[in-house]
Every structure is written in C-alpha cells, then in structure tokens.
Amino acid sequence: MADDLTLETGSGWLEGVRRVPSPNCDERPAASEPELIVVHNISLPEGDFGTPHVEALFCNCLDTAAHPSFEEIAPLRVSAHALIRRDGELTQFVPFTKRAWHAGVSWFQGRDCCNDFSIGIELEGCDWQPFEDSQYRCLASLVRLLMATWPAIDAGRLVGHSDIAPGRKTDPGPHFDWQKLKNLL
C-alpha cells in the first residue's frame, strides 16, 4: 500500500480502497474519538490465507458448512475497521468514525470498553507464522494517516489485542515484529 492513502474525514472511509460495509458497528459514545489502534490477526480457517471467510464473518454470512470450526463462530457479531491481506491489499469494513466490534472485553490505561475509543486493524495471519513485508508497509501507511488525523493516537497507543485483553487473546502473536512496524513509522 502506497503512502497516498487519504481519508474522507467526514465519513471516516478511506478513498480508493475496497469497501465492504459490515453491519457490526454502531456510533461511538458522544464526544469519543479514536485514541488507540489495536492490531489483530485473523484467518479462517485458522492458518488458511486468501479465503473469503473473514469477509463473510464480518458481514454475518459465514457458511457453517465450509469448515467445522465455523459453526461455533458464525453467530458472532464482530468486525474490524480494516483488514490487510498477505499481499498488502487493504479492505475497509467500518468507517473509522464509527465503533467496530473488534476488542470485546478489554482494558487500556484504566479504561474499559476499548471499542469506544479504538480502531481495529486485522492482519491476515495467525500466531505461528510471520507476517509479510507488504502487510507491514500497508499497516505503517495506514497508521501514519490515522495518527495524522487523530493526534491522540501516538506510538504508545499502538497495541496488540493481547495487550488489551491479556489471558483472553494472543493476537497479533509472537511473530508480529513491533520494532519493524515502528521503524516504518
């Protein structure tokens, strides 16, 4: 992803990026703006890349017959603001101005309900494999744009799902290279 990402600030949608609107979002609480970026990993089935299943999950149309593990997760109502595929392709599901349902039970610096004040970015991946350079480049470009748009977000407010839901979540996992991301910022 090039550094030419632009954001329609009124709508919260990125320009020129594939949009797949998820119904799994709502308005942020009054006077709440993004102050935190949460990095996740996801693949469905776990460890399979390039499938349409993540998109289907975020749009409430996951086919439970496609894999045995989908029966348990299909009823979930979850989303993220964006997904970065292995090749660096960026898809946006929820406007950044709205609340995506990505963090679940969570806590950051004395505040709970991180969905209220965070942006959730999913990387196509799993805990046991390294991420691709194209994903780091795209993520860094997106993070720079979000930091410029919402100044409360800084490098100290760039965390993994495991940081805000310890013991419950492990993503983005031990193969996510935080230093590599920070070097690209």
Helix (H) / strand (E) element for 18: namely strand 18-19
How far apart (Å, rounded) are the C-alpha atoms in residues 134 and 164?
26
Alpha helices by DSSP H, the chain: 53-58, 70-73, 133-149, 161-164, 178-184
Mean pLDDT by 10 residues, the chain (185 residues): 80 97 98 97 97 98 97 97 98 98 98 98 97 98 97 96 97 98 97
Is position 138 within any domain? yes
Q: Among residues 15, 46, 71, 122, which one is catalytic?
A: 122
The 10s digit of each residue's pLDDT in 82-134 is 999 999 999 999 999 999 999 999 999 999 999 999 999 999 999 999 999 99
Distance CA 181, CA 179 (A): 5
pLDDT of residue 148: 96
DSSP string covering 96-130: TTEEES-S-S-EETTEE-GGGGEEEEEEE--TTSP
Give the CATH number for residue 26.
3.40.80.10
For 60, list phi and psi in degrees, rounded to 5. Answer: 65, 35
Domain for residue 54, yes or no? Answer: no
**Is 122 assigned a catalytic role?**
yes
CB 80 within 8 A of CB 120: yes
Distances (CA, A) of 50 to 96, 118, 178, 185: 24, 26, 24, 27
pLDDT given for residue 1 in this prediction: 46
Judge whether 137 lies within some domain.
yes
Residue 9 has a pLDDT of 85
**Domain assignment present for 69:** no
Would residue 126 count as lying in a domain?
yes
**118/89 Cα distance (integer angstroms):** 22
Q: Count up the domains in the chain and report the number.
A: 1
The burial class, CB within 10 Å (0-12 / 13-18 / 19+), for 174 is exposed
Domain presence at residue 155:
yes
Domain membership of residue 150 as a residue range: 7-44+79-184
Q: What is the pLDDT of residue 122?
A: 98
Kindly state whether residue 140 falls inside one of the protein's structural domains: yes
The reported pTM is 0.97
pLDDT at 136: 98
SS3 of residue 156 by DSSP: helix
Q: Within a domain: residue 91? A: yes
